[in-house]
């Protein structure tokens, strides 16, 4: 009986750059975040020309506090909503929120927002310290992206946990860019134009 010739098995990862079908949506969202954030940032800088009168240390701290107040507003709103939801016993099992109930999702949103806010606040403070006067509007533009990302994350979380990824990315990836910018400048002395 003749031996059947077996062709070598092809690795399916060679055609998909090593990503499986479950990872591709994440990659698309990731690239979508970068593109959206870059376009938003570029258009905002193109259409809006603002700089403060002075750029002393006090002015920088004041701007950081102002943008921080706006950035934390989604968490403040969520805390108010959770306070009202605590009066609804149908959302709880004993003293614990029911898994995936509205109050549980809102609690997780609040926790995640505070985690992201810490990165935001430190990044904005450092950026204010090192960016020149003509780039002060960068803090406000990044705050708009942060708040937009938090709101999209929150709505997406209630709709479907997978949909929250785009909002998370709008919050997180611009901060990654800020930290990369800061590291280039603080460690290597390389100032990339914002």
Please check the confidence at residue 138 and state whether its pLDDT lies above 90.
Answer: yes
Determine, yes or no, domain membership for 142.
yes
Mean pLDDT, residues 147-171 taken together: 93
- HEC sequence for 15-72: CCCCCCCCCHHHHHHHHHHHHHHHHHHHHHHHHCCCCCCCCCHHHHHHHHHHHHHHHH
Longest dimension (CA), the chain: 91
Determine, yes or no, domain membership for 64.
yes
Quote the pLDDT of residue 11: 55
Query: Rounded to whole angstroms, how far apart are CA atoms 107 and 72?
Result: 15
Determine, yes or no, domain membership for 15.
no
Determine, yes or no, domain membership for 83.
yes
Total number of domains constituting the chain: 1
Please check the confidence at residue 9 and state whether its pLDDT lies above 70.
Answer: no
- From the number of C-beta atoms within 10 Å of its C-beta (0-12, 13-18, 19+), residue 48 rates as exposed
Please check the confidence at residue 8 and state whether its pLDDT lies above 70.
Answer: no
Yes or no: say if 145 and 67 are a contact pair by the CB < 8 Å rule.
no
Determine, yes or no, domain membership for 5.
no
| 80 φψ region: left (φ > 0), alpha (ψ -120 to 50), beta (else) | alpha
Determine, yes or no, domain membership for 108.
yes
The tens digit of pLDDT for each residue in 87-125 reads 888 888 888 899 989 999 999 999 999 999 999 999 999
pLDDT band, very low/low/confident/very high, at 155 (cuts 50, 70, 90): very high
pTM of this prediction exceeds 0.85: yes
CATH at residue 115? 1.20.120.550
Determine, yes or no, domain membership for 136.
yes
Place of tokens 């979380």: 157
The tens digit of pLDDT for each residue in 49-86 reads 999 999 999 999 999 999 999 999 999 999 999 999 98
Q: For residue 137, give its domain range.
A: 51-188
């Amino acid at each position: 009986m003749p031996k059947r010739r077996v062709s070598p098995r092809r690795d399916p990862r060679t055609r998909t750059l090593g990503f499986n079908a479950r990872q591709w949506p994440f990659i698309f969202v990731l690239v979508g975040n970068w593109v959206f954030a870059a376009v938003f940032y570029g258009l905002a800088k193109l259409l809006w020309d603002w700089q403060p009168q002075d750029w002393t240390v006090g002015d920088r701290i004041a701007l950081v506090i102002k943008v921080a107040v706006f950035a934390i507003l989604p968490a403040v709103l969520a805390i108010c909503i959770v306070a009202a939801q605590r009066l609804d016993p149908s959302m709880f099992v004993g003293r614990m929120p029911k898994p995936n109930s509205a109050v549980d999702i809102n609690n997780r949103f609040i926790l995640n927002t505070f985690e992201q806010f810490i990165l935001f606040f430190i990044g904005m403070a450092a950026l204010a310290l090192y960016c020149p006067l003509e780039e002060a509007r960068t803090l406000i533009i990044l705050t708009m992206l942060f708040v937009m990302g938090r709101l999209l994350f929150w709505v997406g979380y209630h709709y479907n946990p997978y949909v929250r990824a785009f909002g998370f990315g709008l919050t997180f990836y611009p901060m990654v860019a800020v930290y990369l910018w800061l590291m280039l400048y603080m460690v290597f002395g390389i100032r990339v134009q914002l």
